[in-house]
Structure 1
């Protein structure tokens, strides 16, 4: 079943983010469906780390559709670890308008390059409501006389979609806050929110092309349904043979 399927791929050449994934258990064949459990590790650089200690394995409870793919939250947790291991990212505060940029400058984010560094590994969980992410970082302008680092925290959910055999992630309504430590700074945080939201966009950008789920070449999912559980999610659907 897995013959010819590339289980290692590059998610972002610029950021040197790679993915290596595999089945976490054997494929199970029921009377009218396939159960495919898999997990993986997203990592930074050339050295592939060991797979994380097994968390909650996907449990398959239905068989009314042709195929079910279970994905452990370990895959998403390793993406958070890769983001942290990467080190600082460089973003750019754009020219918006005079008033907005003046206020952003008071907050410590003048237009121009900004270094964003995570202060801990993002907390990523799958529960019955979906995928939740919490990211903490510091942002600091790279101007000649940079202001003090600005602590930032973003919380957001992620939605899983399936395009054929490719898993796609999208971030949902990120809520970011900063703690500049001054009354003026707290007033200006709302204006900086669009800038701060670039942080969660880094994670989802790695998955824009999509992760190919382990199915034979030519088989695509159709009419999919996605169920979220504590520690894993299950994608069910029909199978369509192309060509």
Structure 2
């Protein structure tokens, strides 16, 4: 358990929603935000994995998380999630949208329509519905930050990554458009590219790669906490974990 009093933590009294919170980068974000004092609303598909996360957060901070077992591909649930957060907390200070689906690594002409539809639902439609549900909650925050995980495949297409790359490119466009519409508000959006990390998704995409040579997802936690507090002048900033790790400061664009 952390010895630092909660009122001394940098994100004390913040409410943070994290999707994909049961493993990988989402889990790293949830743990880092909780350690920084935020109350974490953790969303993932698996109840058991969420309970394991809650155990870690309790051991780290002495405080529980709010657990939301949900398949974000069933997008109507995101509307109910926003309502529940409004009723309990009245606002949302930090949003970290880490949940995503890799999809089939296959030529575009061979993608099964059912696989395409599932990727669109999880990666793109869920992002839209999450933004729609979270915006009023973020507007109620004094310093709202919305962090969306993206990928180099959004800007640099590569063979067999068509489904994932197309959805991430669409997510980037959607987030930038939304943030530009909110330029006169306090809401600031971040498109965060973690690069290659030791995650299950990376192992699925690159089965011959040695995971020991990749950064552990826990390494990105401090950057996410920093972004949750950063003074971001632009409606949207692009941040690459590799640049931050080298320079020690977010690189915006």
TM-score by structure 2 length?
0.26
| Bigger radius of gyration among the two | 1
Specify which structure has the higher proportion of strand.
1
TM-score by structure 1 length?
0.27
Specify which structure has the higher proportion of helix.
2
